[in-house]
A and B are shown apart, each in its own frame.
Chain A
Amino acid sequence: MTNPYIPMKAEIVSIKTETRDIKTFRLKPLGGKLKFEAGQFVEVSVFGVGEAPISISSDPDVDDYFELSVRRVGSVTGALFKLSEGAIIGVRGPYGRGWPLKESEGMDVLIVGGGCGAAPLRPAILKLLRSRDRYGRIELLYGARTPSDVMYMEEFEAIAEGSGCRVLLTVDTIAPDNRWRYSVGVVTSLFDKISVNPFRSVALVCGPEIMMMYAVRDLLRLGFKPENIYLSMERRMRCGLGFCGHCQIGRKYVCLDGPVFSYSEIAPMPDKIV
């Protein structure tokens, strides 16, 4: 029996600073590859500090390396931020169910991200654009608190340039002297501008749960079906294996049944905001 608690070693090959508190770590698995689907997560070990569940944010079709875009919020992420290139960490996974990309073929796709919620959406975006002709309209809405909190800025602008995906960006507030070429307001304020057809569209949503609550409310109002609204839920997955119980929402285990749920699956469960 292989022990699922034993991590695989991975070397940090590069670190990119995205915002003041988000960095993207490119990791090379040592002694194996990490095959994953868009929307899955791994348990990251910084030995002596602990483990934390982190979404994989790179292209699922690239398997020489994978990337984790991490916001510094606690002890493990704090320790990760102190590491530099060449450091070895532990990784186990991938875990969970990702975005329903195969099931969404033939439909329009609306992607809605908030803050570091862009991280688990990025693999989906890259994958969708690679098989662009299998989908209808694709639109990406992304919101952050301020212009300096926007992650993947250059990448989003490059996507907007070509590749058949509309990109709408917004921030909650800007400083008076800030040159920000896009919208100001919460991400749901961009819903007025969408051109996907709600009746034959899926929505892939990830962000703070309060943002997802407002997004779902507005999407339903626009005519999206509850079973076509997909949310990536954040809970404290300690084991990733469906054992430790911490990520349970009602009877759903975020680590096994999620982290991506359709709204219709998760709506009847208690102890959540959305």
Chain B
Amino acid sequence: MNTFIADLHDLDRLVEVARSRYSVYAPVRRGRGYVFSKIEGMSDTDLRYNRTILPPTKIFHRPKEVLLRFQLADGPEFGEVVEVEPMMIFGVHACDLNAILRLDRFFTRRFEDPYYLARRRGSVVVALNCNGPRDEYCFCASLGTGPTVYGGYDILLTEVRDRMFLVEAGSEIGANLIDEARFRRASMSDMEAKKAVASTAKREFRRYADFRSLSYPVIEVLAHTVWDEEADKCFSCGNCSLVCPTCYCYEIYDTLDMDLNSGFRVRRLDSCQLYGYAEVALGGNFRKSRKARLRHWMVCKFGGAAGGELSSCVGCGRCIFYCPARIDITSVASRLREAV
């Protein structure tokens, strides 16, 4: 059996082994929140974190990155810039892992995004099962995106007893790393304990969401008065997109150096909540109103993303927690559910 048991010292060895090949990113306390940041050992991270401010998907799909470099003199001449750093992302919750898996599908849909894929394919994911909701904002259980992970990881951790983790390999790379870290084999009771954790974890969720049949183009959804009420509160700040693990929209622009010769083509995360997002030539704008923008964002999460192939909410709770107007996707959805 490829199941092992590890305490924090053992996991330290795993991090040590991994650090010879990868930069290891894990949740690190910053002020009142957490961020995925480079760690040197387990003492830098806190595996009981609730959620990071930015999701781990944004390690692969960077908020800002250079796509290509160009120069104008005798040219133009241009070439790609793909920055790849082999990474281990350590301690990824089920919701965030599901977001990564959805972006994997999204970025290989009709075309392949070489920037996302280069980083993703060179990386290792150590997932971490949740023993219940991390706080009152979590609602993965009702969307089937957590709290337990069922695939898509290299290594999976489950805290089966106080600071004791069941360790499972999900890929050859994961198995090799575990091998090198020399963990003890798990006992039958450890494995039973994992099953118990998984079954109790699901039951403790108090927040609930059902997004079925709320996607485009259901008229009862699009014409509902809830959008007017919520748009009255919305600041169009774009926080929800910034923290959302499945928001992928971006802007592309050129920047020119001071020499007016060389420069970069850059992409930067954009948000459909911002006024300029749907602008076209000559000042046309197809989502001028906050209501239209808020509705577009939420209905995209309900299942309009990637042309309706993907429902894109994973229930991480970030957009609710970080909304300055207290707009809550789960309560909007329940209002809409009454109408469909």
CB–CB B286/A271 < 8 A = yes
CB–CB A242/B111 < 8 A = yes
Minimum-distance CB pairs A-B, first 9: A245-B249, A268-B217, A73-B281, A250-B216, A251-B304, A251-B308, A251-B216, A241-B111, A47-B76
Distance between B136 CB and nearest chain A CB, rounded to angstroms: 30
Distance between B12 CB and nearest chain A CB, rounded to angstroms: 36
Within 8 A of A (CB), among B282-311: 282, 284, 286-287, 292, 295-296, 299-300, 304-308
Known: A48-B263, A244-B270. A238 touches B252 (CB 8 A): yes
> Does A131 lie at the interface of the complex (its beta carbon under 8 Å from any beta carbon of B)?
no
> Does A114 lie at the interface of the complex (its beta carbon under 8 Å from any beta carbon of B)?
no
For A256, give its contact among B110, B267, B278 (CB under 8 Å): B110
Closest to B217 in A: A268
Q: A3-B80, A236-B279, A242-B110 are in contact. List 6 more A-B contacts (CB 8 A).
A: A6-B80, A47-B72, A73-B282, A74-B281, A243-B248, A244-B250
Residues of chain B within 8 A (CB-CB) of A257 are 307
Q: Which residues of B contact A (CB under 8 A)?
A: 67-68, 70, 72, 75-76, 78-80, 82, 106-107, 109-114, 117, 215-217, 219, 222, 248-254, 256, 260, 263, 265, 267, 270, 272, 277-282, 284, 286-287, 292, 295-296, 299-300, 304-308
- Assembled-state Cα–Cα distance A270/B294 (Å): 13
For B68, give its contact among A6, A74, A236 (CB under 8 Å): A6
For B78, give its contact among A47, A238, A243, A271 (CB under 8 Å): A47
Residues of chain A within 8 A (CB-CB) of B216 are 250-251, 268-270
Residues of chain A within 8 A (CB-CB) of B277 are 246
As a 0/1 sequence over residues 178 to 193 of chain A, the CB contacts with chain B under 8 angstroms (1 = contact) are: 0000000000000000
Most chain-A CB neighbours within 10 Å: which of B113, B250, B286?
B286
Known: A234-B280, A251-B215. A1 touches B68 (CB 8 A): no
Closest to B261 in A: A48
Most chain-A CB neighbours within 10 Å: which of B82, B252, B292, B308?
B252
Closest to A240 in B: B111
Residues of chain A within 8 A (CB-CB) of B272 are 245, 248
As a 0/1 sequence over residues 1 to 42 of chain A, the CB contacts with chain B under 8 angstroms (1 = contact) are: 101111101000000000000000000000000000000000
Closest to B256 in A: A48
> Does A49 lie at the interface of the complex (its beta carbon under 8 Å from any beta carbon of B)?
yes
> Does A249 lie at the interface of the complex (its beta carbon under 8 Å from any beta carbon of B)?
yes
Residues of chain A within 8 A (CB-CB) of B287 are 271
Within 8 A of B (CB), among A217-267: 234-236, 238-239, 241-246, 248-253, 256-257
> Does A90 lie at the interface of the complex (its beta carbon under 8 Å from any beta carbon of B)?
yes
CB–CB A236/B278 < 8 A = yes
Distance between B295 CB and nearest chain A CB, rounded to angstroms: 7
By DSSP majority rule, is chain A's interface helix, strand, loop, or mixed?
loop
CB–CB B217/A270 < 8 A = yes
- Assembled-state Cα–Cα distance A73/B263 (Å): 24
CB–CB B117/A244 < 8 A = no
Closest to B116 in A: A243
Closest to A235 in B: B280
Known: A7-B78, A48-B72. A271 touches B217 (CB 8 A): no
> Does A108 lie at the interface of the complex (its beta carbon under 8 Å from any beta carbon of B)?
no
- Assembled-state Cα–Cα distance A268/B249 (Å): 23
User: What are 11 inter-chain pairs, A to B, with CB distance below 8 A?
Assistant: A6-B80, A48-B72, A50-B265, A73-B282, A209-B284, A242-B109, A242-B307, A246-B277, A251-B215, A268-B219, A273-B286
- Assembled-state Cα–Cα distance A269/B307 (Å): 12
Closest to B117 in A: A1
Distance between B281 CB and nearest chain A CB, rounded to angstroms: 4
Known: A48-B256, A234-B280, A246-B278. A5 touches B219 (CB 8 A): no
- Assembled-state Cα–Cα distance A253/B248 (Å): 14
Residues of chain A within 8 A (CB-CB) of B306 are 242
Residues of chain A within 8 A (CB-CB) of B72 are 47-48
- Assembled-state Cα–Cα distance A224/B249 (Å): 37
Known: A236-B279, A242-B109, A270-B222. A50 touches B307 (CB 8 A): no
- Assembled-state Cα–Cα distance A252/B299 (Å): 13
CB–CB B217/A4 < 8 A = no
Residues of chain A within 8 A (CB-CB) of B282 are 73
CB–CB A3/B215 < 8 A = no
> Does A59 lie at the interface of the complex (its beta carbon under 8 Å from any beta carbon of B)?
no
Residues of chain A within 8 A (CB-CB) of B260 are 48
For A50, give its contact among B107, B254, B270, B281 (CB under 8 Å): B254
